[in-house]
A and B are shown apart, each in its own frame.
Chain A
Amino acid sequence: MKLNTNSNIYTIFYTTILVVIVAGVLAFASTALKPKQQENIALEKMQSLLRAARLGEDVSAQKNKSEYIKALYSEHMTNDFVLDYEGKVIEGEAFEIDLQAQYSIIKQIASAKTPETARAFRKQLQLPVFVCTIGEKVLNIFPCYGAGLWGPIWGYIAVEDDFETIYGAVFDHKGETPGLGAEIAHAPFYNQFVGKKLSLEGAFKSISIIKGGGQADNPNGVDAISGGTITSQSLEQAIAMWLDEYQAYFNIKRAAIGSKECCGEDCCGEEGCGEEHDHDQDGKVPCNGENCSCKTGIRNHNGHEHQTK
């Protein structure tokens, strides 16, 4: 008896069995490859963080890439912590924080109708900070995440311990146009951020990514990508949105640096030392502990002693 391959029952059975088999194959492949894929994703994140601190640039020349990245990461990334919207350290694992989830909260803050709802959303924020130590240098690395032209874009910005100067930055994307928007992930673009300032005349200012922004006399701008205008604008917006949420933390840190200048052992008598301070006999400003943030150890997140110089 010849099977009628055009009968309804045959068709239904055939397609059902086919789909079940295909689903089985795919489920198996997905489960079998998952650990390897997740390792790749974690490794990529480590590499991005290191790149932001201008480390690991020679990684492609290494034989064992993953070992090299892991070693570099554990050597330099000395600490990470999670902040809330007020810049206070809260509990959480910075490396595991899903930037996309935080981004959706930030978006809700931006579209909130009343300040109360905005604050309610803000309270949910978990903002990761990564601390990288290179010799004497202590860098704070801040993430950003936003929507590009075709998909998400994200990046990490390493800021020097004056909380003003950008030490390095790195960006990446899911699916921007190769050669155009995708150029944000390449060194010629993100290296422009090196040395740029996050403030203008004392006030906090994010980086603008505009045509002709990369002039040497513009401390707050970098050149946009020709042909990648929407990606450039989205990145500018993403950086501004995220740094805005970190601003509380920046302000605390900057205030700490400001007050430190006039209570340190060696700073008094130098320029910038306020005349309103009372000098003691040695010509040093007396430090009364409470108002002097450098004595309270505010820079002392990672257990390292960072007392006044």
Chain B
Amino acid sequence: MDKSIFKNPFFKANPITVLVLGICSALAVTVQLKGAFVMALSVTVVTGFSSMLVSSIRNSIPNRVRIIVQLVIVAMFVILVDEFLKAYAYDVSKQLSVYIGLIITNCIIMGRIEAFALGNKPFPSLVDGLANGMGYGMVLVIIAFIRELFGSGTLFGFQIIPQSWYMANGGFYENNGLVILPPMALIIVGGIIWVQRAIQKELQEEK
């Protein structure tokens, strides 16, 4: 198996920064690190296993209804993840609330199934799905790190910026309210894309 299947989604073909898929949820769940982390994990599980399942039945799927078949399979995994979180990680499941259910609308999953799983064997599809989920999760965690640190002064809920720095306590610092709002997430995504293209010249479009 080609190692690039696993490596590419992290950098060269990152779902968010290069393929520009899954942007919507990257804006929605990145206010806090914990949520971003669980979201990344859930998406990884769903992309990995739905890719594998679709790939293993790819020759029997009627072509005319393949999108619906994929949708049913993805939806099944999303609901399974949701039920499991409710039973075993209730706090996090509550925090993510609707966004777990909305994993189904994450373009990465359907995108990878259409582009990869339908034409490849189950194992490479599983690896591709997992790697894409992780590549997505990596960007999510970076965004959430910046947003939680500057928006709330915490990381994983722990206070990082000393309380004595805050204006309320006579200091000079104030949390940046803009960072909490979705537009700032988009600006951070833009920043990440900028940095990546500066490093990786082949991604730059010709003038």
Q: Taking beta carbons and an 8 Å cutoff, which residues of A are in contact with B?
A: 5-6, 10-11, 14-15, 18-19, 22, 25-26, 29-30, 33, 36-37, 40-41, 44, 150-151, 174-175, 178-180, 226-227
Contacts and interface: CB of A to CB of B under 8 A. Distances in A.
B92 to A, nearest CB: 12
Interface string B79-119: 11001101110100011011000000000000000000000
B60 A14 contact: yes
Interface residues of B, number: 34
B139 interface: no
Contacts of B94: 44
Contacts of A40: 86-87, 90
Interface of B: 29, 31-32, 35, 59-65, 68-69, 72-73, 75-76, 79-80, 83-84, 86-88, 90, 94-95, 97-98, 151-152, 177, 180-181
B62 A226 contact: no
Contacts of A18: 69, 72-73
A226 B76 contact: no
A175 B102 CA distance: 13
Contacts of B32: 178-179
Contact of A11 (B59, B65, B80): B65
Nearest to A14: B62
Given A26-B80, A37-B90, 12 more contacts: A6-B62, A11-B65, A15-B68, A26-B76, A33-B83, A33-B84, A40-B87, A40-B90, A41-B90, A178-B29, A178-B32, A180-B180
B46 to A, nearest CB: 14
9 contacts: A5-B61, A14-B60, A22-B73, A25-B80, A29-B84, A44-B94, A150-B98, A151-B97, A179-B31
B83 A14 contact: no
Contacts of A174: 97
A11 B177 contact: no
Nearest to A35: B87
Contact of B69 (A6, A15, A29, A41): A15
A227 B179 CA distance: 12
Contacts of B59: 5
A19 B72 CA distance: 7
A36 B72 contact: no
Contact of B181 (A14, A44, A227): A227
A178 B95 contact: yes
A18 B66 CA distance: 12
A22 B83 contact: no
A10 B94 CA distance: 41
B29 A11 contact: no
Contact of B79 (A10, A19, A26, A36): A26
A5 B61 CA distance: 7
B150 to A, nearest CB: 12
Given A6-B62, A11-B65, A179 B90 contact: no
Contact of B87 (A11, A14, A37): A37
B182 to A, nearest CB: 9
Contacts of B31: 178-179
B159 to A, nearest CB: 12
A174 B99 CA distance: 12
A6 B86 CA distance: 39
A36 B88 contact: yes
Given A5-B61, A37-B83, A179-B31, A226 B177 contact: yes
